[in-house]
């Protein structure tokens, strides 16, 4: 098994890591029966640590791992669930330099999003 996160060398932007990724910030999940994921996350040792003020969205954490359970009926995730079933509709990566990662992605064809 490779180095554990606390033993790994700090990430460096270079040929092996051109975007400068530094792990996952979160993975978002959606499910037609969100209480099942709540139960599963807790069995895995995740603890709910934050709840959106007005939406049915909860953040679970275990160490530096963040899961988001999106049960908001009008969200993209739940609309996807209606058509395809349980999903992981979003994820985010940590990066060494956000500006560099953005420019790198756009240079490779990513389309900047400037909406809400």
Query: Which superfamily does CATH assign the domain made up of 21-107 to?
Result: 2,3-Dihydroxybiphenyl 1,2-Dioxygenase, domain 1 (3.10.180.10)
pTM of the entire predicted model? 0.82
Distances from the Cα of 10 to the Cα of 20, 41, 93, 96, angstroms = 10, 29, 15, 9
Residue 1 pLDDT grade (very low, low, confident, very high; cuts 50, 70, 90) = very low
Q: Could you read off the pLDDT of 52-85 as tens digits, one per residue?
A: 999 999 999 999 999 999 999 999 999 999 999 9
Residue 89 pLDDT grade (very low, low, confident, very high; cuts 50, 70, 90) = very high
Q: What is the DSSP string of 19-82?
A: T-EEEEEEEEEE-SSHHHHHHHHHHTT-EEEEE-SSSSEEEEEETTEEEEEE--TTSHHHHHHH
Q: Could you read off the pLDDT of 3-16 as tens digits, one per residue?
A: 566 677 889 999 99
Domain spans in the chain, listed from the N-terminal domain onward: 21-107
What's the pLDDT score for residue 5? 61
């Amino acid at each position: 098994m490779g180095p554990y996160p606390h033993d790994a060398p700090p990430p460096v932007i270079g040929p092996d890591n051109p975007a400068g990724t530094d792990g996952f910030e979160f993975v978002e999940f959606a499910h037609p029966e969100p209480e099942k994921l709540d139960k599963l996350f807790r069995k895995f040792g995740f603890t709910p640590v934050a709840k959106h003020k007005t939406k049915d969205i909860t953040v679970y954490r275990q160490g530096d791992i963040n899961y988001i359970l999106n049960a908001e009926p009008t969200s993209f995730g739940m609309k996807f669930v209606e058509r395809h079933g349980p999903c992981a509709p979003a994820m985010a990566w940590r990066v060494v330099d956000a500006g560099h990662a953005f420019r790198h992605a756009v240079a490779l064809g990513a389309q900047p999003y400037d909406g809400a």
